[in-house]
Amino acid sequence: MLSGDQDLPDGIGMARLAWTRLPTADGSAAAASTSTSAPQDELFVGAVESLDYEVIENYAYREEQAQRSKFWVPYYIMLKWFFALLIGVGTGLAAIFINLAVENFSGWKFTLTFKIIQHSYFVGFLVYILLNLALVFSSVYIITQFAPAAAGSGIPEIKGYLNGVDTHGILLFRTLVGKIFGSIGSVGGGLALGKEGPLVHTGACIASLLGQGGSAKYHLNSRWVQIFESDRDRRDLVTCGCAAGVAAAFRAPVGGVLFALEEVTSWWRSHLMWRVFFTSAVVAVVVRSAMNWCNSGKCGHFGAGGFIIWDISGGQEDYSYQELLPVAIIGVIGGLLGALFNQLTLYITKWRRTYLHKKGKRVQIFEACLISLITSTVSFVLPLLRKCSPCPELEANSGIQCPHPPGTDGNFVNFYCSKDNEYNDLATIFFNSQDDAIRNLFSAKTFHEYSAQSLITFLVMFYSLAVVTFGTAVPAGQFVPGIMIGSTYGRLVGMSVVKFYKKLNVDEGTYALLGAASFLGGSMRMTVSLCVIMVEITNNLQLLPLIMLVLLISKAVGDFFNEGLYEEQARLKGIPLLDSRPKQIMRNMSARDACKNQKVVCLPRVSRVIDIISVLRSNNHNGFPIVDRGQNGEQLVIGLILRSHLLVLLQSKVDFQNTPFPCGPGVLNRHNFSDFVKPPSSKGKSIDDIHLTDDELGLYLDLAPFLNPSPYIVPEDMSLAKVYNLFRQLGLRHIFVVPRPSRVVGLITRKDLLLEEDGDTVTTELQSTTVRAHLNGKTAGGNPHLQRPLLDSLMIEQ
């Protein structure tokens, strides 16, 4: 048995303990079935825990299924759609609140600063620094003191959750609050990060809290909605929340669905696709309604900006085959810079976690404030060193004004210019909100707005700031910084193309878009979802082939050097993700090789309470095989019981008995299936929470009614690659590895799974071919549940 959450070098989160050996044919002795192995050093103990996506079909589960009426299934399906609606509305409202707050804080900050610099640039500089510092301090203080799990983007943790690994604290109510208010402070404070990644985490938190009925700790819960008690149902809700977060961040509902499908989920099915699509559509309606309301001027500085939409439909409408070469060059640059970004952030984050953050919360607060001071100084001082340029001649109907009025969003910012008809191209990017800066870089029909020197200066400085800022103790997304970096060098390439192909209708803003796509593809390694998101946020379908080309090239170049940003960060945080494909070395390994030279921890069907306590205290394993004696005296496996279920039984004490014999049928009605459900917002019960008297320790406990009688089983010579695929695709936590069976009971084909319901009975269309014509259903020991030989058997556990 793989018992524990130990990792193999190939990345499977499983341990490798063998079954306790039993007497063999020649009568050789074996260890007792209750023997335990010594506790092992496990990499992720206390940090993450595997989720139980498998249905535990114990007696309590079957009893609950039998008691449900025929109206329960329609009610259950209706609730799923209703919760999808609630998730969409909740995530949309959260995104509206974050965007309104960020836009207004940024608007007030720039308006006040521009008013002051009309009289004194030094005073304006101090005010600008202090305002940014106050916002960043509020963000890092919330994170360090209230919600540590809200730091970062949250996407690696959510990706791990949907992959089958739960990181404690990521879906708490306080994490949701910290994510919302922390994002407002960090993004409004001008740091080189975005709010789009945190919005994905926000949507997942909203979905999880709705699924569990709220937060019991803060007395914000309702029992009537606590129907989604299994990890499988919560996984569906969190998937809807992830898609809703992307749809709200980019106003890209289709992109949100594809993001959930491509980037974060490890499995998919058509029914979930419909609900995710519905959730994203609800988010789009909510966000659009808010924008229409804000366009009337009721939202302060929130107007044309705010929600990301960079419309470049008025720019380049077509492209020539001669532009394929510079487009390919953009893809290569994006792959190189994206891979370099991933590697640099990995090194810096590892150093930060190893040396810096171990010194306490004050050091984390000081670090974030120091980066805020550096960022504010760079964004204010560098434009002062740049010489202003005269306003170009613009078309009368272009809708662009030069210079733009101070304190408002737009191109051609007049900053430290001696004449009224001049503008500062570096201030147009630096001294502006990120959304407005990207909108300026994407803008069409603004030739020669930026000089190559200003773009290179901004690229080097902002790239460095983004690398250093990533990993600080604030909510931080990398979508918008990546778009800013990519659009900068994309515009540089566009300027070169304009000069070289003078006769072609080339727009610099188009190449800025392609550069943004290339850097995101080179860093995050997304293709389909990112392509759709870029098309949706720019409202330009003509450039779809070019976007696809740069994404393919940038991803291929980036994959040559390292993994994607989220995979690297997940590994750094100790989240054992199972990749979509097994390693090549697994093709030459068997299931037995994965768990050889180890011992398993077994429990007999009727165990003494003190023995169970001893086993739970001596190791951190989360699953234990249960064995029983057959009619001929041989020991058989009758199922698997989880550690969490044992803790529930020990804490309730109602199933303790005085005799070491199997219990009668009356004990089976003492528990409901909901008694064994682990709250998603807590670590669950611990062995330290169990307090028993000496008399209770001497009693017995029959484990048969509470175990999983039908765990997944593989033969010992199955290739580890097939085990890997089975493990990942089914979302398993344990797999039994047993000797190859000596006889065949039956053979199930696709036709045997085509069932027809006829009233209250279910009949098969075609019967399977069986070795024996008649099965009496009885097994050794009289137990109709799963009973299998335990000779040299093994188990794999995640």
Residue 243: beta bridge partners? Answer: none
Residue with the larger pLDDT of the pair 670 and 615: 615
Query: And the tokens for 407?
Result: 């304190």
Residue with the larger pLDDT of the pair 72 and 87: 87
The pLDDT value recorded for residue 791 is: 37
Closest CA relative to residue 35, chosen from 526, 600, 425, 574 = 600
Residue 389: beta bridge partners? Answer: 423
The pLDDT value recorded for residue 314 is: 57
Query: And the tokens for 557?
Result: 């170049």
Query: And the tokens for 493?
Result: 């390439």
Whether the CB-CB separation of 722 and 786 falls below 8 Å is answered with no
Handedness of CA 451, 454, 457, 458 (dihedral sign): negative
- pLDDT greater than 50 at residue 3: no
Give the Cα separation of 380 and 723 in Å (integer): 57
Query: And the tokens for 769?
Result: 């071919």
Residue 422: beta bridge partners? Answer: 390
Give the Cα separation of 642 and 734 in Å (integer): 10
Residue with the larger pLDDT of the pair 28 and 679: 679
The pLDDT value recorded for residue 64 is: 77
Give the Cα separation of 125 and 615 in Å (integer): 64
Mean pLDDT along residues 562-570: 90
**With DSSP H G I counted as helix, E B as strand and the rest as coil, what are the percentages for the chain, rounded to 5?**
55, 10, 35
Mean pLDDT along residues 70-76: 85
Whether the CB-CB separation of 283 and 206 falls below 8 Å is answered with no
Backbone torsions φ then ψ of 153, nearest 5 degrees: -80, -30
The pLDDT value recorded for residue 43 is: 33
Give the Cα separation of 200 and 207 in Å (integer): 11
Per residue in 773-792, pLDDT (tens digit) is 444 444 444 444 444 444 34
Query: Number of H helices and number of E strands within the chain?
Result: 24, 18
The pLDDT value recorded for residue 243 is: 94
The pLDDT value recorded for residue 572 is: 87
Residue with the larger pLDDT of the pair 685 and 301: 685
**What is the longest distance spanned by two Cα atoms in the chain?**
101
Element (H, E) at 102: helix 72-117
The pLDDT value recorded for residue 779 is: 40
Q: Which amino acid is at 260?
A: A
Share of the chain above pLDDT 70, in %: 79
Mean pLDDT along residues 619-623: 86
The pLDDT value recorded for residue 199 is: 93
Mean pLDDT along residues 544-551: 91
Whether the CB-CB separation of 595 and 619 falls below 8 Å is answered with no
Give the Cα separation of 538 and 344 in Å (integer): 30
Closest CA relative to residue 191, chosen from 519, 481, 618 = 481
User: What is the C-alpha R_g of the chain?
Assistant: 30
3-state DSSP call for residue 144?
helix
Mean pLDDT along residues 238-250: 92
- pLDDT greater than 90 at residue 137: yes
Residue with the larger pLDDT of the pair 256 and 266: 256
Strands 48-50 and 165-167: antiparallel
Share of the chain above pLDDT 90, in %: 32
Q: CA dihedral defined by 23, 27, 31, 32, rounded to 10 degrees?
A: 60
Residue 795: beta bridge partners? Answer: 736
Residue with the larger pLDDT of the pair 663 and 575: 575
- Whether residue 74 is preceded by a cis peptide bond, meaning omega within 30 degrees of 0, is no
Q: CA dihedral defined by 346, 583, 579, 549, rounded to 10 degrees?
A: 80
Give the Cα separation of 444 and 508 in Å (integer): 7
The pLDDT value recorded for residue 758 is: 55
- pLDDT greater than 70 at residue 223: no
What ranges make up the beta strands (E) of 36-143?
48-50
- pLDDT greater than 60 at residue 741: yes
The pLDDT value recorded for residue 290 is: 84
- pLDDT greater than 60 at residue 482: yes
The pLDDT value recorded for residue 775 is: 40
The pLDDT value recorded for residue 82 is: 92
- pLDDT greater than 70 at residue 175: yes
Say which DSSP state 119 is in.
Answer: T
Per residue in 497-515, pLDDT (tens digit) is 888 877 667 788 888 889 9
Which stretch, 51-60, 219-228, 285-294, 495-504, has highest mean pLDDT?
285-294
The pLDDT value recorded for residue 751 is: 82
The pLDDT value recorded for residue 45 is: 36
Query: And the tokens for 131?
Result: 């305002």
The pLDDT value recorded for residue 776 is: 44
Give the Cα separation of 250 and 240 in Å (integer): 16
What's the chain's average pLDDT?
A: 80
Residue with the larger pLDDT of the pair 418 and 454: 454
Residue with the larger pLDDT of the pair 778 and 383: 383
Whether the CB-CB separation of 704 and 779 falls below 8 Å is answered with no
The pLDDT value recorded for residue 664 is: 60
Handedness of CA 7, 8, 11, 12 (dihedral sign): negative
The pLDDT value recorded for residue 789 is: 44
Per-residue 3-state assignment (H helix, E strand, C coil) for 483-497: HHHHHHHHHHHHHHH
Per residue in 5-26, pLDDT (tens digit) is 333 333 323 322 222 232 233 3
- pLDDT greater than 80 at residue 577: yes
Q: Give the residue carrying structure tokens 């990706």.
A: 159
User: Out of 440-454, 563-577, 663-677, which region has the weakest mean confidence (pLDDT)?
Assistant: 663-677
Whether the CB-CB separation of 751 and 770 falls below 8 Å is answered with no
Q: pLDDT tier at 266 (50, 70, 90 boundaries)?
A: confident
Neighbours of 528 (CB within 10 A): 15
Give the Cα separation of 208 and 211 in Å (integer): 5
Q: pLDDT tier at 49 (50, 70, 90 boundaries)?
A: confident
Give the Cα separation of 525 and 513 in Å (integer): 17
3-state DSSP call for residue 797?
strand
Whether the CB-CB separation of 521 and 332 falls below 8 Å is answered with no
The pLDDT value recorded for residue 7 is: 34
Backbone conformation region of residue 281, classed left if phi is above 0, alpha if psi is from -120 to 50, else beta: alpha
